Structure 1
Amino acid sequence: MLSIKCDFSAAFRQLENIENAVQEALRPAVYRAARMVYLEAQSRAPVSEQGHWFYSKRKKDGSAGQKYWFESGSLKKSIYIKHADDKSMQGQRETYVISWRKNSSALGYVPYAHMVEYGTVRVPPNPFVRPAYDAKKAQAEQLIIDTIKRAVAQA
């Protein structure tokens, strides 16, 4: 009878180090990639030459909706980036959301951003978020891959 003993403990430790390195590098890498898209969305957001009024829908009782004043650049200021805790699994899957603030905030908001992005029956769409994603997707993916490769090489 032939018996062979192999000790893989060193290999398993090294694999564990690689796993830990990837888990530590993932969230910052995805954030940096998402920030690329965020900055591109901000640069693509249309900016009016001057401030403007926005009128909300009529109320259910038929009375006039509210009237809001928005400074030029409000749409650009309303864009945000946020980690989506509910869609992320620490070290395994990290998700960031890039969107616009819909509710009143000191940081800026516009209740009509969806009308700009998708259009209305009267106004054609002027998308800025989706084109930003399309423009930066490959570069963002490569950034994540390169960051993870560096983390593995240093493990």
Structure 2
Amino acid sequence: MAGKFSVRLDARGLHVRLDQMARAVSAAARPAAQAGAQVFYEQVRANVPVSLKAHYFYGRNSRKTGVRYYFEPGTLRDAIYQVFAPERSGDGYAHYVVSWNHLKAPYGAMVEYGTSRAPAYSFVRAARGQADERAKAAMLGQLKQDMQGVL
């Protein structure tokens, strides 16, 4: 006489748990992205050249006439910001921008990219290579921290 057995799996509880995990991962995306953005923000600020004395920037105003602007040392460094970009973010992913405020330091592009008279001194682009691994580690660390109770 042959033996008989059956196997049954009720995965309904697993579906509930996986849904909880998916919601937690989605909620953890923004804090993790901000942790990485903070690393880049700090690196960009550290990279910005700061003059020892005040300086002038020559440009044109809306009437296309020449204007001389006065800037204190550290103006460009103090114009660095990071901001959450909701229009480039969504469910489960977040986007942050690190740059400089062009109204506070309109000469930032000339420093970053150089001019015909001055060499480039990349402070934003250089930060990517300098801080990439640290930013990834910060994001992963934040994600692990936020997911600890769920896993």
Q: TM-score, normalised by structure 2?
A: 0.87
Structure 2 alignment gaps of length 5 or more: none
Identity of aligned residues (%): 32
Query: Tell me, what secondary structure is at the counterpart of 1:69?
Result: strand
Distance in 2 (CA, whole Å) between partners of 1:22 and 1:13 is 14
State yes or no: 1:113 paired with 2:108. Answer: yes
Structure 1 alignment gaps of length 5 or more: 104-108
Larger Rg: 2
State yes or no: 1:39 paired with 2:34. Answer: no
Residues 28, 147 of structure 2: 8 Å contact kept: no
Residue equivalent to 2:102: 102
Distance in 2 (CA, whole Å) between partners of 1:41 and 1:6 is 54
More displaced 10-residue stretch of structure 1: 137-146 or 74-83: 137-146
Letter in 2 for 1:100: W
Distance in 2 (CA, whole Å) between partners of 1:85 and 1:128 is 25
Match of residue 16, structure 1, among 16, 19, 22: 19
Aligned-pair CA distance for 1:56: 0.3
Residue equivalent to 1:88: 89
| Equivalenced residues, count | 146
Query: Tell me, what secondary structure is at the counterpart of 1:99?
Result: strand
Letter in 2 for 1:52: H
Misfit runs of 4+, over 6 Å: 58-61
Distance in 1 (CA, whole Å) between partners of 2:61 and 2:148 is 60
Aligned-pair CA distance for 1:141: 1.1
Distance in 1 (CA, whole Å) between partners of 2:40 and 2:100 is 13
Residues 59, 65 of structure 1: 8 Å contact kept: no
RMSD: 2.1
Residues 45, 76 of structure 1: 8 Å contact kept: yes
Aligned-pair CA distance for 1:145: 2.1
